[in-house]
Amino acid sequence: MTALSSVDPEIADLLALEARRQSDKVRLIASENYVSKAVLAATGSVLTNKYSEGYAGKRYYEGQQYIDAVESICISRAKSLFGADHANVQPYSGSPANLAVYFAFCKPGDTVMGLGLPAGGHLTHGWNVSISGTYFRAVQYGVRKDTHRIDLDEVRDLARKEKPRLLFAGGTAVPRTIEFAAYAEIAREVGAIFVADIAHISGLVAAGVHPSPVPHADVVSTTTHKTLRGPRGGMLMCKETHAKAIDRAVFPGLQGGPHNHTTAALAVALREAATQEFQKYAVQIVANAKALAAAMNDRGFTLITGGTDNHLILCDLTSKNISGKIAAKALDAAGIELNYNSVPFDTRKPFDPSGIRIGTAAVTTRGFREPEMVQIAEWMAQVVAAPADEPLHRRIAGEIRELCAKFPAPGIDC
């Protein structure tokens, strides 16, 4: 930071303010976390200086003695942690990882199938504004209107009718356990490649807290920075039979040089994720999410599916007479950071939807447990009931700063 401050005080000041912000707030964005100091150190390392197109032992530039070792260690840690036949650790993030899967198995115009965005799916699973929904013939399944859960009978019927080349499971707002074995059976029946996108839950899968898709899926795609608590990046794992297709699709198919500093940081995160401490952490993420869900239910919040099995809670604020956006902005002013989110069958627009999405990975990293979850639910209830009450928001933000000071965020000195 000293070097940064002397060269570019403007950016140094902004980084310091962001560190303070991350330290002082209750961060509930379901896709975010705090990485360890070790992961931060690898991310900000000399590996950012190096180009390495290709794979270990087969690169297009010289000077790969140490990069090859870093990437090989990262791959072997990923394979061992998840029990995968093959891993590619080069995708820049989740969307490029998924695009590589399309490139590996599909031609433009092929039929693909995934959970629709408004039902909790991801843009890259065939939503119409994404390349996945414009270059391919995307068919989207949803959730049941009565339970808001994925109906695998509907998925099977649609897959039988549409015969997709790719079948995606997973998403960005799925609060319940994903039944990977059932998806695999459907994919097998219709001759589809089954892709499990575990971006949100990969830390839970690594720790055995969510069933693993690895025995069932042709390809497993993930980001590395959510519950897995690594650097911002992506990763693909697959059966040995698909290894060549996946590697070729990532490079040279889609990307240039891998981000070696990210690969090193991912290797560190994977080592951390293989520890008993991480396993306990993942158990606590889910315990915290369940405690927060129960405390929100007690305060009259409507939760999609009634609760959660993982790190994520999706809340419909219609019964509280407030939109997701107004609530999210008021909560942010009060020191609680989350995102507004569509809920299934939302009648409002995505930029001002009915819901908010909440995740417990980051607060669990800093050591919050069940009592803090009850306190957070109480603060949320007060803010949502008074979204324009700025003195209330300031008071709560102060209380939150005091609480956060007792639970220092890893990797942040301020």
Nearest distance from C-beta of residue 31 to ligand DSN, angstroms: 3
Q: How many CB atoms lie within 10 A of CB 300?
A: 11
Nearest distance from C-beta of residue 88 to ligand DSN, angstroms: 19
Residue ranges in 203-262 that form contacts with ligand DSN under rule CB under 6 A? none
Catalytic residue among 43, 111, 124, 223: 223
Say if CB 412 and CB 23 are below 8 A apart.
yes
Q: Decide whether 94 or 118 has the Cβ nearer to ligand DSN.
A: 94
Site string for ligand DSN, 106-145 (x = CB under 6 A): ----------------x-----------------------
Q: Decide whether 88 or 172 has the Cβ nearer to ligand DSN.
A: 172
Nearest distance from C-beta of residue 56 to ligand DSN, angstroms: 28
Catalytic residue among 25, 27, 176, 226: 226
Site string for ligand DSN, 17-56 (x = CB under 6 A): --------------x-------------------------
The correct pick among 94, 118, 120, 142 for binding ligand DSN (CB under 6 A) is 94
How far out from the chain centre does Cα 172 lie? 7
- Residue type, position 44, single letter: G
Helix ranges (H only) for 106-249 are 131-134, 152-162, 180-190, 202-206, 243-248
Annotated active-site residue 51? The verdict is yes
Catalytic residue among 53, 185, 370, 389: 53
What does DSSP assign to residue 251?
I
Q: Is residue 310 near ligand DSN by the rule CB under 6 A?
A: no
- Angle at 297 (CA atoms; ends 293, 303), nearest 5 degrees: 70
Residues 6+ apart with CB under 8 A from 300: 319, 320, 381
What does DSSP assign to residue 401?
H
Q: Decide whether 346 or 370 has the Cβ nearer to ligand DSN.
A: 346
Separation of alpha carbons 102 and 189, rounded Å:
20
Nearest distance from C-beta of residue 163 to ligand DSN, angstroms: 28
Separation of alpha carbons 12 and 49, rounded Å:
21
Q: Decide whether 172 or 222 has the Cβ nearer to ligand DSN.
A: 172
- In three-state secondary structure terms, 239 is coil
- Which of 268, 229, 185 lies closest to 360 in space, CA to CA? 229
- Which of 174, 90, 97 lies closest to 344 in space, CA to CA? 174
Q: Decide whether 77 or 200 has the Cβ nearer to ligand DSN.
A: 200
Site string for ligand DSN, 151-180 (x = CB under 6 A): ---------------------x--------
Annotated active-site residue 223? The verdict is yes
Catalytic residue among 21, 51, 337, 395: 51
Q: Decide whether 67 or 198 has the Cβ nearer to ligand DSN.
A: 198
Task: Identify the H or E element spanning 9.
Answer: helix 9-24
Catalytic residue among 24, 32, 162, 197: 197
- Angle at 294 (CA atoms; ends 288, 297), nearest 5 degrees: 140
Q: Which residues are tagged catalytic?
A: 51, 53, 197, 223, 226, 232
Chain positions contacting ligand DSN, by CB under 6 A: 31, 94, 122, 172
